[in-house]
Amino acid sequence: MSDVVRWGAFSCALVPFVLIISGASWAGAAGTSAGLALVTGACRALLRRSERSAAGLRGRAAGRQRDRSGRSGARARRGGRHGERRTPVD
């Protein structure tokens, strides 16, 4: 993600410079720079949000336990040889 933000910041500085050299007005270059900075900030926020949600999903998936039959939850964590079956002892 940091590379994307660095390239966004670089373009926010480079584009107005190129616009001024090519003959655009200072106000137009400043407006373009502000627009690029806004878009870069929004993209950075969205990337951080998606990384956090992906990390949360990975953490929740790793915390699930399954038994041999593929069941998850409280039934998967019960110990013992026979689990829930109760057989009378003669």
Here the tokens at position 78 are 């019960």
Give 63's pLDDT tier (boundaries 50, 70, 90). low
Rounded Cα distance between 90 and 84, Å, is: 19
Q: Which long-range contacts (CB under 8 A, 24 or more apart) does 4-11 make?
A: 4/43, 4/44, 4/47, 5/40, 5/44, 8/36, 8/39, 8/40, 8/43, 8/44, 9/40, 11/36, 11/40
Bridge partners, 66 (sequence order): 72
pLDDT of residue 7: 84
**Higher pLDDT, residue 83 or 46:** 46
Count, residues in the chain: 90
Question: For all residues of the chain together, what is the average pLDDT?
Answer: 76
Question: Is pTM beyond 0.95 here?
Answer: no
pLDDT digits (tens, 9 = 90+) for 37-53: 898 889 889 888 888 88
